[in-house]
């Protein structure tokens, strides 16, 4: 009997041992497979696997739109270490954009930022042709589901706030607005600005002159002078150079700048404030999402609550009660309890000009 029991125990032990051996072999094989797959896939992506190229319509040091983007590019490099390059003064022409973008792709750049509206069609076409490259278009409305997104900000919000300042400081009740192109982005900005003017000064008007250029110092100067000759004592702009401010200062008028505060050095006596961009944090967020495999081709539209758009500090020209109102409205916009009305199809009633020149 004792021999039988011993035999049974040995049989059970052997079966248990064989099971453990099989389990250990299975684990070993699994680890080998995982290692092979990891090596085959090259491991998790890092920022070193990406290079980002930026294409600007104006000079990178224009004191305005393109410089705001280039400051954002430099912030991106500082925060992530990604390799970047930029090309400036590329017109809104499909062939011109494609030539630059394809040269970057040939050099291994796999993230392309196009920073002006007119690149829209070329970027949409190239996104289909180069599915392994991420295309991000600023101020457009087209996108796809994989590698083509667009991004912009609710600039009409600080535009409205700057209108409060302009309406409070004008003495002639004539405010001039030097504007680039009659597209929705620009029209809604003019209307938001004019709504701010009207809130504090129902007697003031905003007259618009179109230049049909984003960056054209000569055209901007001519438009500014034409408005000053009508009696405007405050000028605002949707342009990329500080030429409007220079003209305003020469005439003893005041100036609401745009894009960045860098232009204020060109006309410090005229400068009152500026609706400004801060692109850096957005560029960091979107590049990190790409590197981490979390990118979604979206239509991003950030407001003042994100920090993408804001109003630069006010000069002493703005009365204290208006400054307090601007601060209050800023807090309400950020909290979501107030937002200026968006009007893009026509001008509101205190604007002089036409949306179909």
Shared domain check, 293 and 196 = no
Distance CA 196, CA 159 (A): 8
Shared domain check, 149 and 118 = yes
DSSP type of residue 348: -
DSSP 58-111: S-TTSSSHHHHHHHHHHHHHHHH--EEEEE----S-HHHHHHHHHHHHHTT--E
- DSSP, collapsed to helix, strand or coil, labels residue 355 as coil
Query: Cα–chain-centroid distance for residue 146?
Result: 20
For residue 2, the model assigns a pLDDT of 42
DSSP type of residue 308: S
Q: Which position has the token pair 């290079």? A: 51
Residue 1, in any domain of the structure: no
* Residues in the chain with pLDDT values less than 70: 1-43
Residue 30, in any domain of the structure: no
Shared domain check, 235 and 148 = no
Range of the domain at 95: 48-153+279-304
Residues 236-250: b if buried by 16+ CB within 10 A, e if exposed: bbbbbbbbbbbbbbe
Task: Read off the pLDDT of residues 262-305 as tens digits, 9 standing for 90 and up.
Answer: 878 999 999 999 999 999 999 999 999 999 999 999 999 999 99
Shared domain check, 111 and 160 = no
Shared domain check, 199 and 323 = yes
For residue 263, the model assigns a pLDDT of 78
Shared domain check, 166 and 93 = no
Residue 8, in any domain of the structure: no
Query: Cα–chain-centroid distance for residue 85?
Result: 17
- DSSP, collapsed to helix, strand or coil, labels residue 32 as helix
Asked if 263 and 245 touch (Cβ cutoff 8 Å), the reply is: yes
For residue 43, the model assigns a pLDDT of 65
Shared domain check, 283 and 177 = no
Shared domain check, 177 and 261 = yes
For residue 38, the model assigns a pLDDT of 39
Residue 115's CATH number: 3.40.50.2300
Shared domain check, 259 and 168 = yes
State the total domains in the chain.
2
Residue 34, in any domain of the structure: no
Residue 327, in any domain of the structure: yes
Residue 247, in any domain of the structure: yes
Residue 16, in any domain of the structure: no
- In this prediction the pTM is 0.87
∠ CA(304), CA(155), CA(263), 5° rounding?
A: 105
Task: Read off the pLDDT of residues 27-36 as tens digits, 9 standing for 90 and up.
Answer: 434 433 333 3
Shared domain check, 343 and 252 = yes
For residue 161, the model assigns a pLDDT of 99
Shared domain check, 180 and 117 = no
Distance CA 51, CA 53 (A): 7
Q: In what order do the strands lie in the sheet with 148-153?
A: 83-87, 51-55, 111-114, 134-138, 148-153, 299-302
Shared domain check, 300 and 225 = no
For residue 357, the model assigns a pLDDT of 86
């Amino acid at each position: 009997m004792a021999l039988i029991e011993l035999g049974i125990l040995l049989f059970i032990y052997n079966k248990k041992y064989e099971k453990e051996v099989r389990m250990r072999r299975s684990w070993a094989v699994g680890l080998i497979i995982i290692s092979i797959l990891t090596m085959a896939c090259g491991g998790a992506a890092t920022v070193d696997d990406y290079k980002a190229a930026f294409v600007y319509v104006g000079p990178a040091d224009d004191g305005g739109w393109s410089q705001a983007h280039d400051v954002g590019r430099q912030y991106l490099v500082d925060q992530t270490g990604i390799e970047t390059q930029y090309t400036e003064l590329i017109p809104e022409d499909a062939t011109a954009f494609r030539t630059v973008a394809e040269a970057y792709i040939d050099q291994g750049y796999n993230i392309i930022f196009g920073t002006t509206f007119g690149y829209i069609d070329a970027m949409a076409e190239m996104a289909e042709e180069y599915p392994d490259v991420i295309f991000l278009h600023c101020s457009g409305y087209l996108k796809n589901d994989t590698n083509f997104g667009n991004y912009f900000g609710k600039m009409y919000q600080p535009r409205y706030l700057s209108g409060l300042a302009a309406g409070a400081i004008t003495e002639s009740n004539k405010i001039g607005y030097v504007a680039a192109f009659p597209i929705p982005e620009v029209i809604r900005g003019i209307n938001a600005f004019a709504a701010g003017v009207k809130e504090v000064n129902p007697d003031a008007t905003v007259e618009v002159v179109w230049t049909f250029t984003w960056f054209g110092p000569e055209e901007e100067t001519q438009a500014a002078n034409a408005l000053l000759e009508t009696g405007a004592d405050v000028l605002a702009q949707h342009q990329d150079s500080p030429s409007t401010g220079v003209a305003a200062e020469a005439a003893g008028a005041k100036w609401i700048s745009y894009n960045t505060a860098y232009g204020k050095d060109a006309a410090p006596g005229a400068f009152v404030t500026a609706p400004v961009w801060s692109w850096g944090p957005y560029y960091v967020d979107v590049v990190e999402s790409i590197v981490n495999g979390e990118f979604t081709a979206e239509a991003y539209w950030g407001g003042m609550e994100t920090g993408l758009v804001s109003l630069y500090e006010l000069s002493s020209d703005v009365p204290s009660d208006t400054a307090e109102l601007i601060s209050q409205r800023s807090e309400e916009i950020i909290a979501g309890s107030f937002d200026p009305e968006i009007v893009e199809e026509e001008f509101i009633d205190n604007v002089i000009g036409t949306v179909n020149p």
